């Protein structure tokens, strides 16, 4: 099931040779294809083709100063994209590629300005999703790809989300089923003196420290960027992951949560809670996994935020996730969806 302006394709989970060939051809010819990855769906173009990359910004409504991640399917492709690969970058890649990790290094001249948004660095990742790797192979070039959502909306984690945002705007959408991880990759910069975590994701800070020994966590991971400060990662200065509903995070016990909503609830309010809590919360609820199950929370978060949009929910009260391990990625996305509105209850 699928759609595009002029032709109809049917790219299912098991993408066959002919379909892959067609997708590769679209990409080589400067077209845009939405592809599944293990994190979220990406909107891909040939990373060496500045004109093709420009169309990504137009399709998403993405600010021009927000650089893109380049996706590769073999370590040998990395050399051409960066000026040098330091030892700690090699060790990270060996430990966590293919997988949900993006590494920033000084860029080579092969990277068009459209990809790096004028910075002297480039973000690179090797996805583990089989179809993503096959599509990079079929294209024969590295693929620049941001998440395939309309800018500012939650990233798409299913084919249906991707169709919802990109239908009619791009050349093809490949169905790879539900994304396994459900939040975007961990972004770490090795372009400066000390490794810096810019965005938490499927690879945890502990996993990075295991390999790197040292890791600075950029302030923007937890906090709102102060007015006028330059963002280490331009993506962090924009409102992100927001459903139409107003999101409010309530941190504390379930008793505190119930007390707060009983005192403050209005028509059109709903809750995002942990499994089982819907029985005691006195309003319509969606669940996003067990309280201690951080991986399930990551997997379900964006679908839940999009579901509130479908329901026309006005305000969403969210049970605050544990921010250890992968939970840090869930917390980081939620706090942005909530425009940093967190209340201790």
Token pair 């107003």 is found at 246
Structural contact between residues 144 and 53, judged by C-beta atoms closer than 8 angstroms:
yes
Provide the minimum distance between the beta carbon of 122 and ligand TXA in the complex, in angstroms, as a whole number.
6
Q: Which stretch binds Mg ion (CB under 5 A): 87-95, 140-148, 215-223, 278-286?
A: 140-148
d(C-alpha 212, C-alpha 94), whole Å: 12
Q: Which stretch binds ligand TXA (CB under 6 A): 72-80, 89-97, 118-126, 289-297?
A: 118-126
Q: Which stretch binds Mg ion (CB under 5 A): 129-137, 143-151, 208-216, 218-226?
A: 143-151
Determine which residue in the list 73, 147, 296, 313 makes contact with ligand TXA, applying CB under 6 A.
Answer: 147
Report if residue 332 touches Mg ion, rule: CB under 5 A: no
Token pair 């991640």 is found at 69
77 contact, one of Mg ion, ligand TXA, none, CB 5-8 Å limit per kind: none
Residues 233-262 that bind Mg ion (CB under 5 A): none
Token pair 């910069």 is found at 189
Structural tokens at position 153 = 């909306």
**Beta-bridge mates of residue 123:** 69, 104
Provide the minimum distance between the beta carbon of 343 and ligand TXA in the complex, in angstroms, as a whole number.
27
Determine which residue in the list 89, 122, 261, 286 makes contact with ligand TXA, applying CB under 6 A.
Answer: 122
Report if residue 39 touches ligand TXA, rule: CB under 6 A: yes
The upper half-sphere exposure of residue 31, i.e. CA atoms within 13 Å in the direction of its Cβ, equals: 20
SS3 18: helix
Determine which residue in the list 145, 221, 285, 316 makes contact with ligand TXA, applying CB under 6 A.
Answer: 145
Between 179 and 249, name the residue whose CB sits nearer to ligand TXA: 179
SS3 212: helix
Report if residue 42 touches ligand TXA, rule: CB under 6 A: yes
Provide the minimum distance between the beta carbon of 62 and ligand TXA in the complex, in angstroms, as a whole number.
8
Provide the minimum distance between the beta carbon of 173 and Mg ion in the complex, in angstroms, as a whole number.
17
Which helix (H) or strand (E) element contains residue 246?
strand 246-251
Q: Mapped to the 3 state alphabet, what secondary structure does 120-173 carry?
A: CEEEEECCCCHHHHHHHHHHCCCEECCECCCCCCCCCCCHHHHHHHHCCCCCEE
What is the contact mask toward ligand TXA in residues 227 to 256, using x (rule: CB under 6 A)? ------xxxx--------------------
Q: CB nearest ligand TXA: which residue?
A: 235
Report residue 97 CA to chain centroid gap. 17
Structural contact between residues 97 and 126, judged by C-beta atoms closer than 8 angstroms:
yes
Report if residue 147 touches Mg ion, rule: CB under 5 A: yes
**Cα–Cα separations (whole angstroms), residue 299 to 110, 114, 184:** 35, 31, 10
176 contact, one of Mg ion, ligand TXA, none, CB 5-8 Å limit per kind: none
Q: What is the contact surface with ligand TXA in residues (CB under 6 A)? A: 37, 39-40, 42, 66-69, 102, 104, 116, 119, 121-123, 125, 145-147, 184-185, 187, 198-199, 233-236
């Amino acid at each position: 099931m699928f759609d595009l302006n002029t032709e109809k394709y049917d790219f299912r989970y098991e993408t066959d040779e002919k379909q892959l060939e067609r997708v590769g051809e679209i990409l080589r010819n400067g077209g845009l294809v939405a592809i599944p990855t293990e994190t979220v769906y990406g909107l891909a173009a040939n990373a060496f083709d500045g004109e093709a990359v420009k169309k990504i910004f137009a399709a998403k409504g993405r600010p021009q100063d927000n650089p893109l991640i380049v996706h590769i399917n073999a370590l040998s492709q990395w050399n051409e994209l960066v000026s040098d690969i330091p030892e700690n970058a090699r060790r990270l890649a060996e430990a966590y590629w293919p997988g949900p990790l993006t590494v920033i290094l000084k860029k080579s001249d092969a990277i068009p300005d459209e990809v790096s948004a004028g910075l002297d660095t480039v973000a690179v990742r090797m996805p583990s999703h089989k179809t993503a790797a096959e599509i990079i192979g079929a294209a024969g070039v590295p693929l620049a790809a941001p998440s395939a959502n309309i800018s500012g909306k939650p990233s798409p984690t299913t084919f249906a989300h991707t169709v919802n945002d990109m239908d009619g705007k791009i050349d093809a959408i490949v169905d790879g089923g539900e994304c396994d991880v459900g939040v975007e990759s961990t972004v770490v910069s090795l372009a400066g003196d000390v490794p810096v975590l810019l965005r938490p994701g499927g690879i945890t800070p502990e996993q990075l420290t295991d390999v790197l020994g040292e890791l600075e966590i950029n302030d923007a991971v937890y906090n709102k960027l102060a007015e006028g400060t330059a963002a280490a990662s331009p993506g962090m200065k924009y409102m992100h992951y927001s459903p139409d509903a107003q999101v409010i995070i309530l941190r504390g016990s379930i008793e505190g949560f119930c007390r707060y909503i009983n005192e403050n609830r209005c028509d059109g309010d709903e809750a995002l809670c942990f499994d089982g809590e819907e029985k005691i919360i006195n309003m319509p609820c969606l669940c996003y996994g067990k309280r201690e199950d951080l991986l399930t929370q990551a997997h379900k978060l964006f679908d839940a935020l999009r579901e509130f949009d479908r329901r026309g929910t006005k305000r969403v009260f969210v049970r605050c996730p544990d921010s250890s391990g992968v939970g840090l990625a869930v917390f980081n996305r939620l706090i942005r969806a909530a425009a940093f509105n967190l209340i201790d209850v």
